[in-house]
Amino acid sequence: MKADWQKQHLILAVKYLRVWQALLTLSSSSTVIEAQAVNERYDYIIVGGGTAGMTLASRLSAEPTLSVLVIEAGGLDNYEAAVMIPRFYPGASGFAPGTRYDWNLTSVPQDSLQGQTINLTQGHAIGGSSTVNAMIFDRGMPSNYDAWAALGNPGWDFEGLLPYFKKSETFTPAPPEHASMYGLTHDAACHGFDGPVKSSYLAWSHPNNTNFLNAMHGLGIKSPVDQACDPLGAYLTTHSIDAKNQSRSSARIAHYDQIRERPNLHFLLESQVTKILVDNKDGKATATGVEFVSRSGSVAETVAASKGVIVSSGALNTPKLLQLSGIGPSSLLTQYGINVWADLPGVGANLQDHPFGLAVASLNQGIPGNSDLENVTFDAEQRDLYYAERKGRWTDTIAEALAFIPLVNFTNADVAKEVLSTANSSAVDFLPADVDSAVAAGYKSQIETILSMHESGRTAAMELLYVDGGRSIVNILMHPLSRGTVKINSSDPFAPPTIDPRYFSHPYDGRVLVESLRFNRKLIATEAVLALGATETLPGTGVQTDDDILNFIKGVTSTEFHYAGTCAMLPRSLGGVVDAELKVYGIDGLRVVDASIMPLLPSAHTQATVYAIAEKAADLMLAAQA
């Protein structure tokens, strides 16, 4: 009987794999073209087919009179299990590093992190980072987007962005049993129900999540009515996972697979744009097209854009491309013999990221954990269950239980005041020594805005991820004051840029994470978590002073892969690169649409925000057409 059951499930698995293979075969009939088949001219050229780029391609090409070309340096994924199935994102870095789906970029050695270099994963495929990320699908606090508007960007407040958050998603509420068990309520006014990206709760929830929520409630951290409009508190988060088949809903699935046969839309894959072509038209510098190479070492070719070029290459590669094209700090460009079209010192400045620290605990034997799947027999059983019923441990990913917590809620009023006192006007002293005065002025405005959000209590200073049933408690800094840089180091378009995140270059960042780790200890000491047999193993109870805790954090810190800000949407006088319509200052016909335009990181994972940015950008462009 058992053998028959296993055979039946194996047949189902094979059938499902054949469906994926059929989908892959179907994709070959798309408008993917070779370099020699590129038209001489398109209305719009989109550089990068990632999260933002695919959204733009979908919305712009929905207008049949517009011709659109997407040029993507990567290729198509093959619907591999590692890409599609949540089970294969078990750890902090996921499956992508070292593969063709990652740009495989690294930082320069970080002095503040004991000389570590940090792997900076960024998606290198159609779908971009939505193809390789941890699939957490959340939004920042309303105050975070209101701050964008306050920094000189009308229409980019939460009220202005909410329609685009909703437009991008199809939300599936939690199943009744999960809703009851974990208190998962929702407000329909906060969600979209017919958008391209699927948003849902994990089908398998760790039984320890109840302990986590009870512990957080005991510490005064409540759960919101709906995390989409009010993300402060503790809850189970949504993911970009299709509730029907429990697989990844990426920009490749949500957009490319739906639009690939449109006759007015072409995709040029495994081709790298090496330069934005700029010409002087009627006394104005104007983007007229792009230069690209279909394979490294091949001859460069060009293609023209009638209405505009849109760069959606991500916060690490977009500033690199602009700099190579003569758009950026003139002192850097002239160093490499690049003709300067627009002296914009903010290109590659203002790099922000979410660094993390963590505490590790041991739990009682028998409590489910990621290591269970190392048992080949158990893993095979869960595989069969997944393919047969879309249930079980293969529907689980790195984290579901989390909390976004204001500073005053994980410290106290006196400590919060002392921590915030480090974030004052002297913060510019912690910027790079060669910082431009406009960029420094913009940074001062950012500091004032961040302080205002913290003082109101309406933003999170820290995200806490309850990983592997509480075996790891990860703290992520939400509003870092450290600022890094992305710079070209030659005129070679295939050379990776020099990326210096400058983690912990501002002392505020380390101080917040020290207080976060102290909060972890409070969490581990709650009755609800002690019931699991929790015992701190890292950093260990012998690590008590602020300096010792900070040294531990610096030894384990890495990135949440939320790079942003390197082509900031700010006034030009504040070091901005694009205006509120995402037009690059000083260059007609050129826009940037990706995470690089965020003037401040939201207290959230960035995926849903990037979709919303691209949705809004598409509407702005189509409205300009009309």
Q: Hey, which residues are catalytic here?
A: 562, 605
How many angstroms separate the CA atoms of 296 and 326, rounded? 21
For 108, the token pair is 């320069």
96: its two tokens: 């992508």
Tell me the torsion sign for CA atoms 432, 577, 75, 611.
Answer: positive
* Count of beta carbons in the 10 Å neighbourhood of residue 548: 14
Is 39 in contact with 601 (CB distance < 8 Å)?
no
Euclidean distance between the first and the last CA atom of the chain, given in angstroms as a whole number: 66
3-state secondary structure of 73: coil
How open is the CA angle 373-606-407, to the nearest 5 degrees?
95
For 217, residues 6+ apart whose C-beta sits below 8 A from its C-beta are: 223, 234
**CA dihedral of 174, 177, 183, 189, whole degrees rounded to 10:** 30
Beta carbons of 326 and 568 less than 8 angstroms apart = no
Phi, psi of 571 (to 5 degrees): -55, 145
What Å distances lie between residue 148 and 199, 206, 446, CA to CA? 25, 36, 9
338 φ, ψ to 5°?
Answer: -95, 130
Distance of alpha carbon 569 from alpha carbon 161, whole angstroms = 15
**Distance between CA atoms of residues 183 and 532, nearest Å:** 21
Rg (CA), the chain: 24
Asked if residue 273 belongs to a known ligand binding site, the reply is yes
∠96-92-177 over CA atoms, to 5°? 105
Look-up: residue for tokens 């950008």?
617
On the 0-12 / 13-18 / 19+ scale of CB atoms within 10 A, 204 is buried
Closest CA to 559 of 531, 526, 601: 601
- Report d(CA 617, CA 610) in Å as an integer: 10
Q: Which one-letter amino acid corresponds to residue 379?
A: D
How many CA atoms does the CB half-sphere of 231 hold within 13 Å? 28
Cα(129)–Cα(394) distance, integer angstroms: 21
Give the Å distances, CA to CA, from 82 to 52, 66, 104, 241, 269.
Answer: 22, 36, 17, 14, 21
**Tokens matching residue 586:** 């000083």
Whole-angstrom distance, CA of residue 556 vs CA of residue 539? 10
Residues in binding site for FAD? 273
